[in-house]
């Protein structure tokens, strides 16, 4: 029996959440709330894991995905150091737009920006996500804390909007924090990491 004949679970284990898809069913669970009993039945699991590696043991027949050369893409990064989540997002974006330049914005625990121009990956940087940013300062007064939360949210939103506005190409937006922005020209995706897993192993 080949991999394609087996009941396959595609899994994205991140810093804050664990997401999976089996058939057309998608689920996202906060790491702190994760219980092995909620994992659906499967015969093999294709896993991208950036943190919380101890969770892998709960999945059946795991295949752990690592960044590797992909088709005719050139990566502006040592693949041994490139996060597998970023790699798979780029793979998914390239699968959707193989002949177009695109910028991928993944908004989660961290915000990552990656561009692909003329089939060449260009590192756009890593920044703290909203909750990491807000947690770096605590005020005594509730009003000051509220103002800090508002200001950091606007700062992050404006930074992303500025980067998107300066890019001439497709804009792909993914990640659990994508609701903080509204880029009219952006294409929004639930989870491009899992889409990338499906491109490689689906």
> Which CATH class for the 98-192 domain?
alpha beta
Q: Provide, for the chain, the percentages of residues in helix, strand and coil under a 3-state DSSP scheme, each rounded to the nearest 5.
A: 35, 30, 35
- Position 196 scores a pLDDT of 97
Please state, in angstroms and as integers, the Cα–Cα distance from residue 52 to each residue in 12, 43, 57, 98, 176, following that order: 11, 22, 11, 32, 17
Q: Is 184 left (phi over 0), alpha (psi -120 to 50) or beta?
A: alpha
- Position 35 scores a pLDDT of 95
Domain boundaries in the chain? 3-64, 98-192
pTM of the entire structure?
0.92
Interval 12-41 mean pLDDT: 94
- Position 4 scores a pLDDT of 55
Residue showing tokens 């003329």: 118
Which distant-in-sequence residues (6+ apart) come within 8 Å of 125 by Cβ? 112, 113
Interval 31-57 mean pLDDT: 95
- Position 2 scores a pLDDT of 52
Instruction: Give residue-wise pLDDT tens across range 96-150.
Output: 999 999 999 999 999 999 999 999 999 999 999 999 999 998 988 899 999 999 9
CATH 3.40.190.10 fits 3-64, yes or no: no
Interval 22-37 mean pLDDT: 93
Instruction: Give residue-wise pLDDT tens across range 45-78.
Output: 999 999 999 999 999 999 999 999 999 999 988 9
Please answer whether residues 196 and 183 qualify as being in contact, where contact means their C-beta atoms are separated by less than 8 angstroms: no
- Position 24 scores a pLDDT of 85
Instruction: Give residue-wise pLDDT tens across range 146-201.
Output: 999 999 999 999 999 999 999 999 999 999 889 898 899 999 999 999 999 999 99
Q: Alpha helices of 45-201 — where are they, by DSSP H?
A: 84-96, 130-135, 142-165, 192-201
Interval 85-103 mean pLDDT: 97
- Position 1 scores a pLDDT of 46
């Amino acid at each position: 029996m080949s991999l394609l004949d087996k009941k396959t679970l595609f899994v994205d284990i991140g810093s804050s959440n664990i997401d999976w898809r089996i058939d057309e069913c998608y689920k996202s669970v906060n790491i702190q709330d994760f219980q092995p009993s909620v994992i659906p039945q499967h015969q093999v699991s294709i896993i991208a894991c950036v943190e919380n590696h101890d969770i892998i043991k709960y999945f059946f027949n795991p295949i752990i995905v690592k960044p590797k050369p992909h088709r005719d893409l050139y990566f502006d990064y040592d693949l041994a150091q490139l996060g597998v989540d970023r790699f798979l997002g780029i793979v998914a974006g390239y699968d959707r737009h193989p002949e177009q330049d695109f910028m991928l914005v993944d908004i989660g625990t961290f915000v990552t920006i990656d561009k692909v121009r003329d089939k060449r990956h260009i590192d756009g940087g890593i920044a703290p996500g909203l909750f990491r940013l807000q947690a770096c300062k605590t005020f005594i007064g509730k009003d000051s804390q509220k103002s800090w939360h508002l200001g950091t949210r606007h700062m992050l939103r404006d930074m992303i909007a500025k980067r998107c506005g300066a890019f001439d190409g497709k804009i792909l937006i993914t990640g659990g924090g994508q609701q903080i922005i509204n880029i009219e020209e952006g294409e929004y995706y639930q989870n491009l990491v899992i889409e990338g897993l499906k491109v490689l192993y689906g």
